[in-house]
Amino acid sequence: MPELPAPVAAVCATFLDVVPDGLLEGLYLRGGTGFGEWVEGQSDVDFVATLTRRPTPDDMSALRSAHEKVAAAHPDVHFDGPHVLASDLAADPRTIPGVPCILMRQFDEERAVHDGVVAWHELARHGVTVHGQSHESLNIWISDDELHAFTRGNLDTYWRGIAEELAAAPGDGEPEEASCYCVLGSARLHHLLVTGEMTTKSAAGRWGLTHYPERFHRVLREALRVREGIRDGDGSEYLDDRAARGRDTAELTAYVVREGVGSGT
């Protein structure tokens, strides 16, 4: 297992310590951790846990309690993911039954894995094994065609909605965090459709500086500044013109949606 960032290792250690004995089979990380670009203060700890059995009511109560303890011990880090059987990983996640999931500290006993198509592919290709058998030995469903279709659909629904909201109210894209979220979040999906490779938000921003028209470079640099933890206007190219940051965020988001949805890559 590669060395984990200290906050990530601490969260995982707490979970392994408090999860009921005999219930957890494997614990795997994905997202920024899997790509080696976990950003303290920005990134969540995204996991997939495999269980030895479908949880009983007592198991559910114990899992909920375990996650409450993790949240109490690590209030600044979100520990998000589903709890599945290893056999569930062999199927398209949209076809498996609802499973216990935690997202943004909200524990649901029976929920669809909301980003399962992405999660399964990240786990298969960029996973990190914390506990249990190696993720490389698991039978994990992947399909490039389905991943691309899911990604394009995400751009055409969720991100198209964001783009339309920003077009109507570009001021919503003025705050640093909002601009960073929209610019890098949309670019990450477009990167997959263009290159065929999954990546992180930061890497997508750097890629955008080589791929997107120069008129978008300023807002890309701005998003990367915020992503790297440089906040409160320090080093901002929009220090005296927040409205321009909102307009540029809106224009780039709309551009990415048009390009991505129209892409046949």
As a whole number, mean pLDDT of residues 235-249 equals 93
190 CB-near residues (< 8 Å, 6+ apart): 155, 204, 256, 259, 260, 263
Q: Are residues 59 and 162 in the same domain?
A: no
Domains contained in the chain, number = 2
Q: Are residues 122 and 158 in the same domain?
A: no
Q: Are residues 186 and 247 in the same domain?
A: yes
Indicate whether 108 belongs to any domain.
yes
Residues belonging to the chain:
265
Q: Are residues 67 and 114 in the same domain?
A: yes
Give the residue from 242, 239, 217, 243 showing the smallest Cα distance to 230.
239
* 62 has a pLDDT exceeding 60: yes
Q: Are residues 27 and 99 in the same domain?
A: yes
> Higher-confidence residue: 123 or 235?
123
- Give the number of other Cβ atoms within 10 Å of residue 103's Cβ: 18
Which residue has tokens 């209030």?
75
- Sorting pLDDT into bands at 50, 70 and 90, what band is 233? confident
* 265 has a pLDDT exceeding 60: no
Residue-wise pLDDT for 2-13, tens only, equals 689 999 999 999
Residue-wise pLDDT for 21-39, tens only, equals 999 999 999 999 999 888 8
Indicate whether 1 belongs to any domain.
no
Side-chain-side CA neighbours of residue 166 (13 Å) = 28
Q: What is the pTM of this model?
A: 0.92
180 CB-near residues (< 8 Å, 6+ apart): 222, 223, 226, 227
Decide the pairing of beta strands 79-85 and 45-51.
parallel
Q: Given 137, 153, 179, which residue is the final one in a domain? A: 137
- Sorting pLDDT into bands at 50, 70 and 90, what band is 1? low
Largest CA distance in the chain: 58
CB of 127 closer than 8 Å to CB of 169 = no
Domain that holds residue 108: 6-137
What the block records as the tokens of 28 is 């795997």
Q: Given 82, 117, 137, which residue is the final one in a domain? A: 137
Q: Given 116, 137, 158, which residue is the final one in a domain? A: 137
Q: Are residues 128 and 179 in the same domain?
A: no
- DSSP letters for 56-102: PHHHHHHHHHHHHHHHHH-TTS-EEEEEEEGGGGGS-GGGSPPEEEE
Residue-wise pLDDT for 150-186, tens only, equals 999 999 999 999 999 999 999 999 999 999 999 999 9
Indicate whether 186 belongs to any domain.
yes
CATH value at residue 12: 3.30.460
Measured CA to CA, the distance from residue 240 to residue 218 in angstroms comes to 14
- Average per-residue pLDDT in the chain? 94
Indicate whether 185 belongs to any domain.
yes
Q: Are residues 93 and 198 in the same domain?
A: no
